[in-house]
Amino acid sequence: MSYFITGTDTNVGKTLISCALMHGFAAMGKRVAGMKPVAAGCNDDGNYDDVLQLRAASNVSASGEQINPYCFTPAVAPHLAAQLAGVIINIARISETFLELAAQADEVVVEGAGGLLVPLNAVQDSSELMRKLGLPVILVVGMRLGCLNHALLTVEAIAARGLTLAGWVANVVDADMEMLDQNITALELRINAPLLGVVPFQLQPDARDVATLLNLHLLEPIKQHD
């Protein structure tokens, strides 16, 4: 089983949760690989912090090209970064790379860029990549003011596109969010998928520690499709 990790927005902790999931699966004896299909904001050496974290959390050997097929320097939306580089992001190429990783691992954790509907090229967005890969989705909700609307719209869009929401994680990104517990309860009542865990606000979170906060046994086996 593999999963696609998306978020309610950018900077909501997708990489942290992706790495925590990987550590959790590894603790269950699984061979685990991480993948960031598209990264924007890479340094001049072609490195991107999220990709480095995913590679560090993996316990199988994979090339940089497999972990991150598309890496762009400008920290802008993927399709815009690709345009500036004179490149077209090819979902079929990403799918081929994913299959290479899946042949080596029991679990591949694929971290998306931004949110569900972030454009990847002139006609396709991240949701279409999820559908192409045939992966159930885990939603990272950045707990801050406004997250209820963002989370519920994303859940609705997931269902409308025929994707499967396997679970969601409440990641507290605002240390001073008022009525945090009540907001989480409101989402639990409205999201028809298990809450895998609540991650408290941390200045320097550690993915291994966060892994202990997630209940991966709530992820029911889901048949993946082509």
Which residue numbers are catalytic? 36
Task: Report the length, in residues, of the chain.
Answer: 226
CA neighbours closer than 13 Å in the CB half-sphere of residue 50: 31
Instruction: Please give the structure tokens belonging to residue 170.
Output: 């409440």
Which ranges constitute the DSSP H helices of 9-146? Answer: 14-27, 49-57, 64-67, 78-85, 91-102, 126-133
40 — phi, psi (to 5°)? -125, 125
Which H helix or E strand runs over 181?
helix 180-190
Measured at the alpha carbon of residue 42, what is the angle toward residues 49 and 122, in degrees to the nearest 5? 120
* C-alpha to C-alpha distance for 121 and 141, rounded to whole angstroms: 25
* C-alpha to C-alpha distance for 141 and 172, rounded to whole angstroms: 8
DSSP 189-218: HH-SS-EEEEE---SS--HHHHHTT--GGG
